[in-house]
Structure 1
Amino acid sequence: MGKPTGFMEYARQDKIAEAPEERIKHFNEFHTPLTKEEQEIQGARCMACGVPFCQSGKILNGMASGCPLHNLVPEWNDLIYNGNWEEAYYRLVKTNNFPEFTSRVCPALCENACTCGLHEDPVSSKANEYGIIENAYAEGYAKARPPKVRTGKKVAVVGSGPSGLAAADQLNKRGHTVVVFEREDKPGGLLRYGIPNMKLEKQIVDRKIAIMEEEGVEFRTGVNVGKDLKAKDLLKEFDRVILACGASNPRDIKVPGRDAGGIYFAVDFLKSTTKALWANDMKLKDGTYISAKGKNVMVIGGGDTGNDCVGTSMRHGAKSVLQLEMMPKAPDKRAENNPWPEWPRICKTDYGQQEAIAIFGKDPRVYTTTVKEFIKDKKGNVCKAVLVKLEGKKDEKTGRMSMVEIQGSEYTVEVELVLIAAGFLGSQDYVTKDFKVDVNARTNVATAPGEYETSVKNVFAAGDMHRGQSLVVWAIREGREVAQKVDLSLMGYTNLSVQ
């Protein structure tokens, strides 16, 4: 694949990011794509390795190595190297329903498992994926293709995040009639209200939704299944139901002063900004969103959501940003016990942190630290937080390591806005209780290993609601797999591919 000597002749080139000082002035995507000629050269770097780990999606030492969708990365890298962009698009969408999303928000598991990256820089496959799908829209390849034959079977998908959309897309292509129910005002789930606009502009979501509608998928928004529409009524109307509601229960911080004003869950903060932008022509209007302007902001939790809170606060005009992480800082380079092609457990400085460093002159992250108490002002709003340092200790009985407080290490910081980005605890129980489906100890919907049908006949589950909080690419894979299982249960056979 690619040019046999390309990896020796050409250096890696990726999309160029706008300078932090400039990009915090707006909420648009801030990378400049490569030209087609530059991307063709990057395709030439794909080195025809005998075992393409980039597309393996194997779990190694508890983490995925390569793409969980098994994207045919070497094939479409070779195709664009040879200038065959249309065929590259068809190979790309063979395994991935939404490359317009993954090419923007996926952490590029393919690149981290790239053989070229063992000793040199990996192939810029994520940028090439972006180029392929955007070229397909520009040239008209990514147009709607409604199914020619309908089966007469009806499937309800509850939730319009990436897993629900993938399931709906697959089942509609098969010829089933699919209706997607979404409790928010617009479809997209976390793609719309969980991921900030500067990572995924919402017209990109709308563009794909419009194509799905043209192909026959129906979206019913503002319908909260389990409350507005009961499970028994849904099961009467549809042959099968897929629950893809996400893991939307945010993990809370239970310390004194938690009831103070000015403390929010990250998802509510991010959603308020997205809704305010779209209601006011991409400009923030005072009083329409949770604002960080002029405030000392504290983000509790690392990961993508914590970083998104940092980046959004920078765009609001925060006075300062502090990000707390309970765990120690990861190494800057792979440790000996984390060899390639495992996912690299290294410290990643993402866009929001880069912006804070550029503006404030230091990394906003403070490691091995947590909140011990929030202090209120006379109006009941948070004004300070008592922090405490942590250290790892092994439990003598269980042998497990846990982070415990270091006595006497407390200190106080000023803070007027606290954003809790400590992860999610599973599905919301009003849905699972209404459908009477079994859940596991983590409140995810329970199924047999490798299966998607729940304890209730004709009810299936997929995505974060099924596997727990994860990446968009995993949600798409689960959506494709549940669609295959549903199709098999409806028709007695299936021709839907998963990979």
Structure 2
Amino acid sequence: MGFINIEKQYLKERKPVERVNDWNEYKIPLAESEAKDQAARCMDCGIPYCQIGTTINRGTTGCPIHNLIPEWNDLVYHGLWKEAYDRLAKTNNFPEFTSKACPAPCEGSCTAGLVNDPVSIKSIERAIIDRAFEEGWVVPKPPKRRTGKKVAVIGSGPAGLASADQLNKIGHEVTVFERSDRPGGLLMYGIPSMKIEKDVVDRRIRLLEEEGIIFKTSVDVGNTISVQSLKDEFDAVILCTGAGKHREVTIEGRELKGISPAMKYLIASNRNQLYGEALESDYDAKGKRVIVIGGGDTGEDCVATAIRQGCKSVVQFGKHGKLPAQRTEKNPWPEHPNVFSVDYAYEEAEEVLGKDPREYYVETEKFIGNTDGHVTELITGSFKKEQSDESAKKNWKADLVLIAIGFQGAEDSVFDDFEVTRDPSGRVIEADTYSYQTSQEGVFAAGDARRGASLIVWAIEEGRKAAAAVDLYLDKKLSLLHQ
């Protein structure tokens, strides 16, 4: 009866007024005793919806990588931490990433959530993997034999890393090509350090290298190296390039200076923190009135980054209304709960700038600039039908505008270079969820490039399944399909 007698405990957080002065992680892990108490809240129910990993009403329900959650909860409760880590590592290649960057759809479908708060699954996962690294249980495990087959993975985000890890484990020789100067994809440059510190990413890359995976950075496939040379050298190629093509706004004044895609802004900020690279004006919020267009997680990261850069003010536009405090009848369990929350960036904005930055039903209609061609103002209307007339129009002062309205799939060069077909949303549509192979012999696709922009857990799951499909293609056996 732990889920009734023990209250759910969330990870503690550093005080907002303190953490906005640095770029260090803002969450504080559970102590061992706290993790054991939280694990005791797991019902070990007959049908663990927490691990079903599916899509209901366009939202993710349960864990897409099918983590054996009740099993490692029970092991933590009994103090069997090494065994808990072994169960976690069986399904999840990178728990240190998911326990920090995943929005935890497993908790939204937890059966305990029907009558009380769900189990703190993400916090327990974090405690397990932190303990595993502290105790030295996470060590390189190179394959005992090599198959002689060579696989090229294009992209080193979570899908590419998962594919590479799985294929290397069974002895294929894997080379990961990364266009950037450092492996990790959005884990390295897209997600701010206060959510995933970069030494955590580097640590995993080092482990993969010690296990035999080769990383080649600053390689732009199609330019630095030809697609044909890859096909000649490797027995299979997996496209894990992500969905990096940002969705644009096509409204008057978009050409003005001071308006940037959100991801370019976040990448510039991360590079500034890592290398001390100077920030261009369009990527520096210091002393500026910042407006973020888009209400999702990327937009939230922009809010938190702008605050740390010392912005004068920040506002985030969302096209939808404010979410309800509780589930509605249209959002039943086990769907992911679409409910209002004050996440880290919004808590910081309230503490530092005096208000929650979110504005709802806002439709940006026009950008206005000065004689120097720099944005100074936005004109907005309302997405709310009853407010869609002139009375809903509003002017907003702005010195920096960040566009965070999502992504349009893989970049155009992927389709041109590899001669694969896209759908209207920019995904590689030829690769189905069984074969993962495109129309090009020996060329596979996985992750956001195939699925569209999604969660880190879907990327890992896609990478694992694509690796199994490649292994089947290479060796005509099912060695990875049952792992």
TM-score range, shorter chain: over 0.9
Q: Which amino acid aligns with 1:424?
A: F
Separation in 2 of the partners of 1:27 and 1:432? 36
Question: 1:30 corresponds to which residue?
Answer: 26
Letter in 1 for 2:460: I
Q: For 2:208, give the aligned amino acid.
A: M
Is the contact made by 1:157 and 1:243 (CA closer than 8 Å) also made in structure 2?
yes
Instruction: Indicate whether 1:441 and 2:439 are aligned.
Output: no
Query: 2:342 matched to which residue of 1?
Result: 349
Alignment of 1:46-445 (within 5 A): 46-280=42-276, 290-392=283-385, 405-445=388-428
Residues 95 and 498 of structure 1 are in contact (CA less than 8 Å); yes or no, is this contact kept in structure 2?
A: no
Show CA shifts across 1:120-168 (max 9, x none).
Answer: 1111111110111111111111111000010000000000000000000
**CA drift at 1:498:** 6.3
Q: 1:496: how far off?
A: 1.1
Q: Is the 8 A contact 1:477 1:498 kept in 2?
A: no
In structure 2, what is the Cα distance between the partners aligned to 1:345 and 1:112? 9
Contact 1:65 1:343 in 2 (8 A): yes
Q: Secondary structure at 2:283's aligned position in 1? A: coil
* Alpha-carbon shift at residue 9 of structure 1 (Å): 2.9
Residue 400 (structure 1) aligns with: none
Q: Aligned partners of 1:237, 1:245: CA distance in 2, in Å?
A: 20
Task: Quickly say closer, same or farther: Cα 1:356–1:17, change in 2 above 3 A.
Answer: same
Contact 1:21/1:355 (8 A) holds in 2: yes
Checking the alignment, whether the CA contact within 8 Å between 1:156 and 1:241 is kept in structure 2 is yes
Whole-angstrom distance in 2 between the partners of 1:448 and 1:214:
31
Instruction: Indicate if the aligned counterparts of 2:257 and 2:282 stay in contact, CA closer than 8 A.
Output: no
Letter in 2 for 1:473: V
- Aligned CA RMSD, in angstroms, stands at 1.6
Partner of 1:486: 470
Distance of 1:498 and 1:25 partners within structure 2: 47
Q: Distance in 2 between matches of 1:436 and 1:31?
A: 44
- Residue 256 (structure 1) shift: 1.2
Q: Return the match for 2:459 from 440, 459, 475.
A: 475
* 1:389–1:426 Cα change, 3 Å: same
Greater alpha carbon shift after TM alignment, 378-387 vs 405-414: 405-414
What's the offset of the Cα at 1:61?
A: 2.8
Q: Deviations over 1:293-322 (max 9, x none)?
A: 110000000111000000000111110101
Unpaired runs of 5+ in structure 2?
none
Preserved CA contact (<8 Å) 2:361 2:384: yes
- For residues 189 and 175 of structure 1, the distance between their equivalents in structure 2, rounded to whole angstroms, comes to 24
What's the secondary structure of 2:467's corresponding residue?
helix
Read off the aligned partner of 1:308 and give its amino acid letter. D
Provide the rounded CA distance (Å) in 2 between the counterparts of 1:269 and 1:117.
37
Change (3 A) 1:14 1:408: closer
Structure 1 residues 141, 121: CA separation in 2 closer, same or farther (over 3 Å shift)? same
Distance 2:217 2:179 in 1: 6
Q: Which amino acid aligns with 2:347?
A: Q
Query: Does residue 16 of the first structure (1) align with residue 12 of the second (2)?
Result: yes
1:94 counterpart letter in structure 2: K
TM-score norm. by structure 1 comes to: 0.94
Output the amino acid matched with 1:495.
S
Aligned length: 482
* 1:195–1:270 CA distance, 2 compared to 1 (3 A): same
Q: 1:28 to 1:476 in 2, by over 3 A?
A: same
Q: CA deviation at 1:16?
A: 0.3
Q: Structure 1 residues 359-368 or 183-192, which shifts more?
A: 359-368
Q: Which moved more, 1:484-493 or 1:227-236?
A: 227-236
Match of 1:460 among 430, 436, 444: 444
Give the counterpart letter for 2:254 in structure 1: R
Task: Quote how far apart the aligned CAs of 1:406 are.
Answer: 3.0
2:431–2:445 Cα contact (<8 Å) kept: no
User: Residue 93 of structure 1 aligns to a residue in which SS?
Assistant: helix
Mean Cα displacement is larger for which, 450-459 or 7-16? 7-16
Contact 1:446 1:455 in 2 (8 A): no
Residues 293, 405 of structure 2: 8 Å contact kept: yes
Q: Which amino acid aligns with 1:494?
A: L
1:6-52 Cα distance to aligned partner (Å, 9 max, x none): 22332212210111111111111011111112111111111121111
Give the match's secondary structure for 1:187: coil
Secondary structure in 1 matching 2:215: strand
Distance 1:339 1:376 in 2: 46
Which residue identity does 2:449 align to in structure 1? M
Q: Give, in whole Å, the separation in 1 of the partners of 2:28 and 2:424.
A: 45
When normalised by structure 2's length, the TM-score is: 0.97
**1:198 corresponds to which letter in structure 2?**
M
Q: In structure 2, what is the Cα distance between the partners aligned to 1:233 and 1:345?
A: 47
Structure 1: stretches of 5+ with no match in the other structure: 394-403
Residue 485 of structure 1 aligns to which amino acid in structure 2? A
Give the aligned residue type for 2:410.
Answer: S
- Name 1:398's counterpart in structure 2: none
Change (3 A) 1:498 1:164: farther
